[in-house]
A = this chain, B = another copy of it.
Amino acid sequence: MSNEKKVRAYTNIALIKYWGKRDEKLFLPMNSSLSLTLDSFYTETSVSFEDSTEGDVFYLNDALQDAKATQKVSRFLDLFRQEAGITSAAVVKSTNFVPTAAGLASSASGMAALAGAANLASGLNLDKTTLSTYARRGSGSATRSMFGGFVEWEKGTNNEDSRAIKIDEASWDIGMVTIIVNDKQKSISSREGMKNTVATSPFYPSWLESTSVDLANIKEAILAKDFEQVGMITESNGMKMHATMLGANPPLSYWEPDSVRAMQAVRNLRQSGIPCYFTMDAGPNVKVLCRLSDSQKIKDYLVQTFNPEQIVISGPGKDLEEISI
A261 adjacent to B251 (CB under 8 Å)? no
CA separation between A47 and B118, bound complex, in Å?
A: 82
CA separation between A260 and B256, bound complex, in Å?
A: 6
A82 CB to closest chain B CB (Å) equals: 42
- Our pick among B240, B251, B256, B260 for the contact of A239 (Cβ within 8 Å) is B251
Complex interface: chain B residues within 8 A of A203 (CB) = 202-203, 206-207, 240, 243-244, 247
The answer to whether A250 has its CB under 8 Å from any CB of chain B is yes
CA separation between A236 and B246, bound complex, in Å?
A: 8
The answer to whether A242 has its CB under 8 Å from any CB of chain B is yes
A247 adjacent to B257 (CB under 8 Å)? no
The answer to whether A227 has its CB under 8 Å from any CB of chain B is no
Complex interface: chain B residues within 8 A of A258 (CB) = 257
With A257-B257, A258-B257, A260-B257 as given contacts, are A202 and B240 in contact (CB-CB < 8 Å)? yes
A185 CB to closest chain B CB (Å) equals: 17
Nearest B residue to A201 by beta-carbon distance?
B243
Interface 0/1 of A196-207, CB less than 8 Å to B? 000000110111
A232 CB to closest chain B CB (Å) equals: 7
CA separation between A258 and B256, bound complex, in Å?
A: 9
A39 CB to closest chain B CB (Å) equals: 28
Taking A236-B250, A243-B243 as known contacts, 13 extra A-B pairs with beta carbons closer than 8 A to each other, sorted by chain A number, are A202-B206, A203-B207, A203-B247, A210-B247, A235-B250, A235-B251, A236-B251, A243-B244, A246-B246, A253-B260, A257-B258, A257-B260, A257-B264
16 A-B pairs within 8 Å (CB atoms) are namely A202-B207, A203-B203, A203-B206, A203-B240, A203-B247, A205-B206, A206-B206, A235-B250, A239-B246, A240-B247, A242-B243, A242-B246, A253-B260, A256-B260, A257-B261, A257-B264
